[in-house]
Amino acid sequence: MTPDPPPADAPLARGLGFWQASAVNITQIVGAGVFATVPLILGVLPGPAGLLAWLVAGLLILCDGMVWAELGAAMPSAGGSFHFLREAFGRTKWGRLMGFLFVWQLLISGPLEIGSGLVAAAQFSTAVSPEFKAFDEQHTLKWELEIAADKKVGVIFGPSRLVGLTLGVLVVALLYRRVTTLGHISMVFLVAVMAIIAWVLLEGAIRFDPAVAFAVPANPVPPEQFPSALGAGMALAIYSYLGYYNVCYLGGEVRNPARTIPRAILVSALVVVVLYPLIQLAITGVIPPDEAAKSTDNLTADFMNRVRGPWAATLVTVCLVGSCFASVFSGTLGYSRVPYAAAKEGEFFGWFAAVHPKHRIPHRSLLLIGGLALVWNFFSLQAVIDALIATRILEQFVAQVFAVIVIRRAKQPRPLPWRMWLFPLPCLVALLGWVFVYATTGRLFIILGAGTLLIGAVVFFIRAKVRREWPFRSGK
């Protein structure tokens, strides 16, 4: 069957202003992130040391946000990093390889990130009522595969996972409309997720006990293990921060992108870098950190149950599931533009370059990313996070740091509507931070990240050989 040719002259609609762009970013960032990872961070960095993960990762995110802001303002196109890397390293030579490798890893890491929100929603949903939790435990099947001495991958089927699957399908259905409508929906989600954060912070501030929050942990991290523990904690914090750049994938749908994109990125990053440590303090000022580390299913519900009772635990659980829904919505919206952008440039299957004639959205690309994300709904959250961070660092975050430097030093420099402050210091901080986190993910995930890149390069060169493209034919 021959696929329909994509309508090359159907542009995307520029319908996102500053507030909508910021809402798209923040709703993806908040989602499950902080509420799911606080106990995980306390598990690797017990007690007050857990705050270091948020603060050091926050510095990295702010510096990396400036990298994204400079590139996004200079090249506001659908697909974000795909265009950044192609243009920076030369769209006819090495840039083709870099762009291909980005799309290659994003088909893994993008759905992983979206799927993690579905996993978290499934975990949170068990706290809606004791009856549903018991029903879920009774009817859940779980298989665990030990892939390293301290690493296991869980595959889980049960009623709560069907909740996550249903949310994923609803997200794809909701995204099947014009981007101006999606921008308004994102604003509604933004108000909702900020209300959840405000509620947690208010309850925590009223009852905050410094003696509880800053108590010496029963099992502190030994000094010789602290660097690896900090790296593990930072990886979890970074996972929670991911999404500050989401608007870059929608660059072709942003109004006045040279001004809107940098502002949306930096405001989004700054908001969550301030709020997330405060959320951990609010919770651990009531529930001792050692106890909080054990509440991996729904710490926020346990917190609300303690301060307000069962009704508050149920209500906040419903809100958290809604927050996960908002995050999955924003993530799918952004990542669905990448296969579309690559297909338009001939670096992915041309069938995915189609734009819906009525809604003016890349609907086929949306269905691809949404469908892949549903698969990860059935895996354990920790495994999804580890795989996500490992596969993305080298080909996206580290590569973009070098992309900024290459563009700045080009013989014919590209116009840069927005320039990062204190260049090249933010680039250096971001580079060192990403390399440190990658090096501390563990041998298995270091191999996963490098292996994904290597296999992608082999596929690229085989493809180029078959198609007689660079580097196997001069001038291409």
At residue 12, does pLDDT exceed 80? no
Segment among 47-56, 83-92, 188-197 with least mean pLDDT: 188-197
CA distance linking residue 217 with residue 222, whole number of Å: 12
**Helices 381-392 and 94-125, axial angle in degrees (round to 10):** 160
Instruction: Report percent pLDDT > 90 for the chain.
Output: 38
- Inter-CA distances, 455 with 105, 133, 348, 438, Å: 10, 42, 16, 19
Torsions phi, psi for 426 (to 5 deg): -60, -35
293 in Cβ contact with 284 (< 8 Å): no
Q: What is the pLDDT of residue 207?
A: 93
296 pLDDT tier (thresholds 50, 70, 90): confident
Mean pLDDT confidence for 304-313: 91
1 pLDDT tier (thresholds 50, 70, 90): very low
Torsions phi, psi for 143 (to 5 deg): -120, 135
Q: pLDDT (tens digit, 9 = 90+) per residue, 250-270? A: 888 888 899 999 999 999 999
456 in Cβ contact with 108 (< 8 Å): no
Q: What is the pLDDT of residue 6?
A: 41
Structure token digits, residue 50: 């857990």
Collapsed DSSP state (helix, strand, coil) of residue 146 = strand
CA distance linking residue 214 with residue 196, whole number of Å: 24
Does an H or E element contain 310, and which? helix 310-335
